[in-house]
Structure 1
Amino acid sequence: MTTQNTQTTTPAPAAQGSHFWVLTLELPGRAAMTQSGAYTPPAGMTRNDVYLALRQHVTADHPEMARATTMFFALEPNQL
């Protein structure tokens, strides 16, 4: 009698940043947008540094939002 061992492996999760962020910008009465993602800040960065870097990143892709008001910003550790 032959037995066969079947082994199922779960793929390793994709590398992600150490923090998850959400940023909502609004041009009152004209436009609003929300973007999110994962980010690993360099050592020594403050929450404000991260906010400014992410805002610059978002507005580089959407220059029309450069003068927008920040309606929401969240930065949390990316782990459960």
Structure 2
Amino acid sequence: MDLCKQQGWRTWLFSVEVGVRGFCSQSVLRLMTAVGATGRERQVAIQGLSQAVEWASSWLWLRREEKSWRQSTNTQ
């Protein structure tokens, strides 16, 4: 953000919340409004975000038993 501000751009920091099942909180709507997305454009963007989060959550769940993800017991 600082680098963007130094270049003369306006910046905003938005923390947004999307649940693991793809539910978008009001923070996502505030972000979309701030960037000027309205109507169908906003609806499509939120739907895409929701689907991406739901897919990513599903992917993580299906790979929860991956041995390479286990915490290392090596204390070196």
> What TM-score does the superposition give when structure 1 sets the normalisation length?
0.29
Counting strand residues as a fraction of each chain, which structure ranks higher? Answer: 1
Counting helix residues as a fraction of each chain, which structure ranks higher? Answer: 2
> What TM-score does the superposition give when structure 2 sets the normalisation length?
0.30
